[in-house]
Structure 1
Amino acid sequence: MWSTPSTPVLVTGGAGFIGSRLVRLLAAAGHPIRVLDDLTTGRPESVTSVAGATLVRGSVLDADAVAEAARGTGLVLHLAGVVGMRLAAQQADLAHAVGHRGTANVLARTGDAPVVLVSSSAVYGLSDGSAELREEQAVDRSVPLAYDGGSPGYATGKWEMERLGREAARHRPVLTVRPFNVVGPGQRGRYGMVVPTFFRQAESGEPLTVHGDGSQRRCFTDIDQFARRLLDLAATEAAWRPDARVFNIGSRTETAIADLARLVLDATGSTAGSVHVPYESVFPGRTDVTGRVPCLDRLTAAVGETDWLSAAALVRKTARARRAGTPAAR
């Protein structure tokens, strides 16, 4: 629907971990790119180092900044958000505002260009992994609200994002994706991301900090595979049908956090081991997710099968990048 290489693309949050990968892929395909990012957590060099990409410093909470950045663009990828469990918990009001009001600004001030909203698997709430999470299942606002600890925060903001997207889809093309634990080289641990946090601790000779008993499971998804699948969806006409506009994207293979810690220790050669801390002591008033597994039937029907990297392969890939000192590896 937007596959002409000359189509200009706006990427909100494009200086961040996922956004910058999309910027590089779009640039390689010949698209002019405009990035709107307030650089709270993003890196300016992630954009300025890419030929054909222009960085506009600003927030999606500023409607005029959104309108200016979107001028002349033919596709919008909306990724701007407060990233990381720790930061999202510390700045819950901001996380909710960016998800809700920021999305409202993006939808109101970008004309009629197709929009891809990058939501989150957090909208499924405190799932236990006993059943696949399907896009068509009804999710009441109380579900992400419970995930947020009872007060609107990150997950509730993403739920509001999706609600606004459904309303906007009545008069313009809107597609929503729900990522599942995207990881890889370039992700930073300072905001609460588990993989880079484990690597930093292991490389410093510190014990790896595991919340709870480590039995909680996650489906870790390779950043490069995720970015390609998102762009594949955006380029697929059928993906924009009203009955198929929400897609899970991610691996279906679960890995316990305790097992992830062992993988990182092995990859780094660290003998520091790990320590367990109560989840409540890190995130007071919140409950950890036991497990979260996506159903990928809709994604596969739209763009085909994906041979997702295993957690072990992802850890090895990240370890290689960190040893090589590749740009943004840490």
Structure 2
Amino acid sequence: MTKIIAVTMGDPAGIGPEIIIKALAEGELSGTPAVVVGCAATFRRILALGITPAAELRIIDDVSQAHFAPGVINVIDEPLADPQTLVPGKVQKEAGDLAYRCVKRATELAMAGHVQAIATAPLNKEAMHSAGHIYPGHTELLAKLTGSRDYAMVLYTDKLKVIHVTTHIALRKFLDTLNAGRVETVIQMADTFLRRVGYENPRIAVAGVNPHAGENGLFGDEEIRIVGPSVEKMKAKGINVAGPCPPDTVFLQTYEGMYDMVVAMYHDQGHIPLKLMGFYDGVNITAGLPFIRTSADHGTAFDIAWTGKAKSESMAISIQLAVQLA
């Protein structure tokens, strides 16, 4: 049976519609078994600008109606109330609401088994919040929609993979709430995820919290009280894990092949090295959901929306990876 994925439009005022068309209209992903959930009228507006490859939009009501062929993009229409009033590159409540509805619709398709994975284009948190959908980002929204309790953000490239203990919280709150249970859970999720994508004996490194991983308590004791004991506990369960490792070197070591994944403690600790080394081909994956979810690892880029300047590599790789993992 063909494994079908759903691709969500993201914020329609951003680069999402444009990079989806670029990814699916031509090249090796043309004809991919993907259905796009989004506003068909907005896709037509983008195509009329001539900034993307030409494509045939096939509007469908159900996944079973999809026809996968080169140059054809199957769209389950999730319309804006007035598509012609949408302003590119601007935060708008209607756009935030549409981005939320696209994720909700795709999740329903995945939970019902009609699609086997989801690839999401970027949404704008301010726009989504203005529409009354108060979530820090895709990861937390998908967890809520699926009832998932243990989940984590994974950033994925061929040479560097990072999973996060925390993501969208203030750094001060992270320090106040860091606990052994969460660190152990994320180490387990890292091992499970890597095995799921083909690693027989995953090698996991756990980054420390403080400079030089605390330098034996000189620069902080979180490594002694929390991170170190968590690593030892998971080692005793048979997981190949090392740490706490100095954060300023462990990402390079992983990039050069010493480890298969880094457990990062907080958002920027993991995002900065990965985006430096793989900004255009990085993929965001939510581990711990009932289905595979991937995403382009960048934002809505309002400053270049609907201009043709947006690069589609990360979106294309996220779609390709969703198909492979499905």
What range describes the TM-score normalised by the shorter chain of this pair? 0.3 to 0.5
Which has the greater radius of gyration?
Answer: 2
Instruction: Select the structure with the greater relative contact order (CA < 8 A; seq sep ≥ 6).
Output: 2
TM-score (norm 1): 0.35
